[in-house]
Structure 1
Amino acid sequence: MIYTVTFNPSLDYIVSVENFKAGEVNRTTDEIIFPGGKGINVSIVLKNLGFDNTALGFMAGFTGDEISRLLEEKGVKTDFIHVKKGLSRINVKMRSNEESEINGRGPEIMQEDIDKLYKQLDKLQEGDTLVLAGSIPSVMPESMYMDIMRHLQDKKIDIAVDATRDLLVNVLPYKPFVIKPNNHELGEIFNVKIETKDDVVKYAKKLQEKGARNVLVSMAGDGAVLVTEDGQEFRAEAPKGDLKNSVGAGDSMVAGFVAGYLTKKDYFEAFKMGVCTGSASAFSEELATKAEVEALYEKNKDLF
């Protein structure tokens, strides 16, 4: 079974406003609501690709109920912990002459809630996959990802981590199955500017020296790189297409990589699926469907 963890899920309220003017009444021309959060995006795309999974995390109030409902509507199983104080956040994203965002804070997560999460994680079994993705709310310990991996280190579980800077670096001693920084985040870790795929490979190997098994690096329009635990290096240019929505593309890459690896236990196949799934989401108004990924995969075989 695959599990994802999203500590601070959201309802993403996306509105379009023509010629937004501050201080005045503005009316939307289009609006839509999605369940949001990096782990949740991974769960949705995995389900779209045909992989059952369970979304874990924290939720509160009527907004939390709606997040669960929307996910279950999409076929994603949920086992969220109900938090007593606060509300699951609403993130408002406005598309106009410029794009603007207002992100909510989220509920107050207590130690008793965290303890409940550990009890859920204790049920994971050998061969399961766990995806830890996104930021950690300020009400939780900054060491949360590291604490979870230390807690699970004796279980034979593949753990994928999509996080930034210290959140990512701190988990490396616990040998995550795959980590997915982008090229900018990779540069920030080592305080360097990453300009080429050779640079990516060089610094990805440094992360392996610190404990990462496989390092998957997204480079937006410049493609992607994978450095594997068995010494392989794979590089790809980005598939061609019209960028419609970059939100969730990185999460989709993680989902595609996990799906590809579980299908054939082959890193090259996982890499191809990761690249095509991330791009398929970027070329779509919503997260990638299986049909969109398969079409892009067939069309771009020459990229790999």
Structure 2
Amino acid sequence: MRRRTKGPVAPLAQREGIDPVRVRLPEDSGEGWATVGEYLRARYGEAVGDARVREMVRDGRFVGVDGPVREDEPYSTGTYLWFHRDFPVEERVPFEIGIVHRDERIVVVDKPHFLATMPRGRHVTETALARLRRELGVPELQPAHRLDRLTAGLVLFVVRPGDRGAYQTLFRDRLVGKEYEAVAAYDPAVALPVTARSRIEKERGVIAAREVPGEPNSESRIELVERRGGLGRYRLRPATGRTHQLRVHMNSLGLPILHDPVYPVVREDGPEDFTRPLQLLARVLEFTDPFTGAPMRFESGLLLSGLG
């Protein structure tokens, strides 16, 4: 097996906690790029416009190992370039990230509702990763797993890049115990506890995941912990990690999680309502540390507001 070699170190520093984009000029497959400028316009012009690409080159935004590249610089296959994309304008999520645990290897945090774990789509600088890199001064920080943007609670970050794989493997191999808490409607007709198993599929570009016929690929244990009037507090233990799994399973039981903007009905896109967070919380993470062998257990300090 051919081992992938690392490219050169980026000559650009992070910007607002975000790494620069790295580009390796590919082999010319017939397009006939004579200059770096021609290639960059071919690759990025459709997204931002040729004029914007020219402006970025002129302003020194595209940088090689020897410094900013010129518009007329001859094209050379295999050359590395770096640049920072224009960040979207983002509304600040008005909640802070709580530090639950920090040592030389890991940082465990309480991610608030509405904050994405890491950059994706229109959420870039307003993400837990970018904020933590800036606030903690740890530019190489990386998440070992992801938590849905609308879900609050525990997320494990790794301080050193060389340690990340070991912690990711724990999640991949289902060696991390997870416990969630949710507030949803109470229905005495729903027999609990129950283990929900189904096949969940998520199509790219479609907000809602859906259950389909076939071999189950998801499993969740659901228990009622407390009831207050028409609402209940539920303990959820996922054995698998499909997209929106807990939200899908609760909805399938006829108990959609309070303030869920997707299940059972996708709400129209609009401004975030920070007063109505999804009532789902990643409450507990527990695992055996892959380096020390010590048992680790972390509990969220956040509280759901749905039951008052």
- What is the TM-score normalised by the length of structure 2? 0.28
Query: Which structure carries more strand by proportion?
Result: 2
Bigger radius of gyration among the two: 2
